[in-house]
Amino acid sequence: MLLASLVEPSFGLIFWMTLSFLIVLFILAKFAWKPILNGLKEREASIADALNEAKKAREENANMMAKNEDLMRQAREERELLLKEARDIRDREIAGAKAKAKAEGDALLARAREEIRNEKNAAITEMKNQVAELSILVAERILKEKLGDAAAQKALVDKVIGEADLRKS
Amino acid sequence: MSIPNLLRTASLLIGSFLFGAASAQHDGHDHATHDHVDVVDSTVASVVAADSDAPKLALEEAEHGGRFDAGKLIMGHIGDEHGWHLWGHTTLPLPIIVYNTERGVSIFSSGHFDHGHKTYGGYMIHEGSIVATKDADGTDVHHATIDEPLTKATWDISITKNVLSLFISLAILLFVFINVAKAYTRRAGQAPTGFQNMVEPIILFVRDDVAKSAIGPRYMTFMPYLLTAFFFIFLNNLLGLVPFFPGGANLTGNIAVTLVLALITFIIVTVKGNKHYWQHILAMPGVPGWVLFILTPVEILGMFLKPFVLMIRLFANITAGHIIALSFFSLIFVFGETNAGAGYGVSVMSLAFTVFMTMLELLVAFIQAYVFTFLSAMYIGAAVEEPHHH
């Protein structure tokens, strides 16, 4: 009969169990489970939000970094370009200057050479003229003075030549 | 789940074996109570009559040279009592509340029954339950006669050991979870602290792994019941493992308690069941008409069988666990009776086994709370499931 009492639900316990369990269920549902479940949901939502925001921030950061990197690269490229241009310009200038200097030098040289040649020609012509005059003079004097010996002749020639100013006439 | 299932099956098997042994003993007592001439059995009969104090008396019998009765000790521990045996000869008297049409409501302390030996206020304890009698107060129960017709009209809603234990556990639940709820509102959005930290994983477990997975998108409606049922069962399973006051009552191993819990699940399923659910029970779509003659009765039977199984499973698991632990414990005294040395020898083994069983019961306490809640959620889930469009 003890066994029977074990598997035979007693009225009193069913009564109290039903009554008190339902009351507690109601109270807990209203004052415990509702705030707890809401709190959990809110916290989860806020954590999810925070995570999302962190992710977004990270993405933005990465974007910014990429953008910075891009800007830096652009700046570098620009600098390279500028430098290259400057180098080109310099090279061109130098090359131009060199060419010009060379041309000018050449021209000067050419002119100098021309002048030298002209001067030389003029000098040669002058010399030719003076030599001819001198020869004529010498010959004239010789012819004018009778010269006894060869030594006197020689001295005379030297004297005439010495008297002749090549620069003159 | 395979290992817990195995354990459960094993404990059920052992439990049923012990049940068999116990029932065999009771047949003997039945015989004894009907036959008062038998002097040797009259002591046993008195124990049966006063089995509200069965565990204590069973030990007393042993102390006074009588035979130690393990079955009585165990049954006394897992059953209900009018009065809570605390220690030695001290029993906490509990209020007796009875009603019948003839005498109206009677409320008095169970102490007046003098451990079930005497009558009081026209009532006495007979075989663990309150019966009406016409004998004067203070009559010895053995000489009192039961007033059968009046007993049948008597409703006993006494605060028994189990009812008090029920109140204590519900008070603990209220205290704990209202405080935890306060923590959630006070520290909204912040990380959990203290006790909140301890229960939150379980709440999340019930929500995510029980309700969400078994019920689906409409799980929120059923969360309060599932959480309350889970923590109620879990707490009482644990309290049942505590051998002294305020633990020690075998509440979740009491069929009245599991009956009410299963009934609530049944009512929820029946009330919340949608068209789809009823259609599948009454006329399974896509099944030829003649099969329905077999199928529909089976489905209707299944409707009642599911909560019935819920009730039996929890009751049997917890009760079986208690029986096994107490059986190991009783072995000490059974052997001690034949030889004190044997008693001491066995006590070492018994203690080891009892500790092992208690460890196992800790596991079972959680598993059974989980299983009850999960299966309830499954039944609810089947009832509120929206039809699939194939």
Q: How far apart are CA B306 and CA B267, in angstroms?
A: 12
pLDDT confidence bin for A1, thresholds 50/70/90? very low
How many contacts, defined by CB atoms under 8 Å, are there between A and B? 151
> How many C-beta neighbours within 10 Å does residue A16 have?
25
B75 to A13: CB separation less than 8 angstroms, yes or no:
no
Nearest to A3 among B26, B166, B259 (CB): B26
Q: How far apart are CA B18 and CA A151, in angstroms?
A: 179
Q: What is the dihedral of CA B348, B351, B352, B354, to 10 degrees?
A: 150
Model confidence pLDDT, tens digit, residues A104-140: 999 999 999 999 999 999 999 998 998 888 888 888 7
Using the Cβ of B259 and the Cβ atoms of chain A, whether some distance falls under 8 Å is answered with yes
Q: How far apart are CA B197 and CA B183, in angstroms?
A: 10
Residues of A within 8 A of B180 (CB-CB) are: 32, 36
Do B322 and B250 touch, CB atoms closer than 8 A? yes
Residues of B within 8 A of A41 (CB-CB) are: none
Phi-psi region of B165 (alpha: psi -120 to 50; beta: other; left: phi over 0): alpha
Question: Nearest CA of chain B to the CA of A76: how many Å?
Answer: 48
Residue B178's Cβ-count burial label (10 Å; 0-12, 13-18, 19+) is middle
Residue of B333, B335, B336, B328 whose CA lies nearest to B353: B328
Query: Taking the mean position of all CA atoms in its chain, how far away is CA B196?
Result: 28
Nearest to A11 among B155, B170, B261 (CB): B155
Residue identified by tokens 């909560």 is B307
Q: Of A144-148, B247-251, B316-320, where does mean pLDDT reach its minimum? A: A144-148
Q: Where are the alpha helices (DSSP H) in chain B?
A: 2-34, 39-49, 54-63, 70-78, 148-152, 161-186, 194-205, 213-215, 223-241, 255-272, 275-282, 289-338, 340-384
In angstroms, how far apart are the furthest CA atoms of chain B? 75
Output phi, psi for B19, to 5 deg: -55, -45
pLDDT confidence bin for B44, thresholds 50/70/90? very low
Please list, in sequence order, all residues whose beta carbon lies within 8 angstroms of the beta carbon of residue B325, skipping any fewer than 6 positions away: B354, B357, B358, B361
β partners of residue B108? B96
A3 to B23: CB separation less than 8 angstroms, yes or no:
yes
| Best B29, B127, B233, B260 residue to mutate vs chain A (most A CBs within 10 Å) | B260
Peptide bond into B246 cis (omega under 30): yes
Residue B99 has pLDDT above 90, yes or no: no
Which of B:135-154 have CB within 8 Å of A? Answer: none
pLDDT at A146: 66
Boundaries of every domain in chain B: 2-87, 90-160, 162-384
Residue B30 has pLDDT above 50, yes or no: no
Q: How far apart are CA B250 and CA B318, in angstroms?
A: 8
Q: In A, what residues contact B, Cβ < 8 A?
A: 1-3, 5-18, 20-22, 24-25, 27-29, 31-40, 42-43, 46
| Stretch (H or E) spanning A111 | helix A34-144
pTM of the model: 0.71
- 3-class SS of residue B140: strand
- 3-class SS of residue B129: strand
Residues of B within 8 A of A22 (CB-CB) are: 264
Please list, in sequence order, all residues whose beta carbon lies within 8 angstroms of the beta carbon of residue B186, skipping any fewer than 6 positions away: none
Do B225 and A31 touch, CB atoms closer than 8 A? no
CA nearest B156 in A: which residue? A12
Do B135 and B119 touch, CB atoms closer than 8 A? yes
Using the Cβ of B105 and the Cβ atoms of chain A, whether some distance falls under 8 Å is answered with no
CA nearest A39 in B: which residue? B184
Do B210 and B228 touch, CB atoms closer than 8 A? no
> How many C-beta neighbours within 10 Å does residue B173 have?
23
Residues of B within 8 A of A20 (CB-CB) are: 166-167, 170
Model confidence pLDDT, tens digit, residues B5-14: 544 544 444 4
Residue B27 has pLDDT above 50, yes or no: no
B189 to A42: CB separation less than 8 angstroms, yes or no:
yes
Model confidence pLDDT, tens digit, residues B266-286: 999 999 988 888 888 888 888
Question: Nearest CA of chain B to the CA of A80: how many Å?
Answer: 54
Residue of B299, B283, B279, B277 whose CA lies nearest to B384: B277
- 3-class SS of residue B102: coil
Which of B:156-175 have CB within 8 Å of A? Answer: 156-160, 162-163, 166-167, 170, 173-174
pLDDT at B283: 83
CA nearest A7 in B: which residue? B255
- 3-class SS of residue A23: helix
CA nearest A33 in B: which residue? B224
Do B112 and B118 touch, CB atoms closer than 8 A? yes
Q: How far apart are CA B324 and CA A56, in angstroms?
A: 59
Do B311 and B259 touch, CB atoms closer than 8 A? yes
pLDDT confidence bin for B48, thresholds 50/70/90? very low
Residue of B216, B269, B213 whose CA lies nearest to B280: B269
Q: How far apart are CA A12 and CA B113, in angstroms?
A: 18
Do B84 and B56 touch, CB atoms closer than 8 A? no
Residue B297 has pLDDT above 60, yes or no: yes
β partners of residue B91? B85
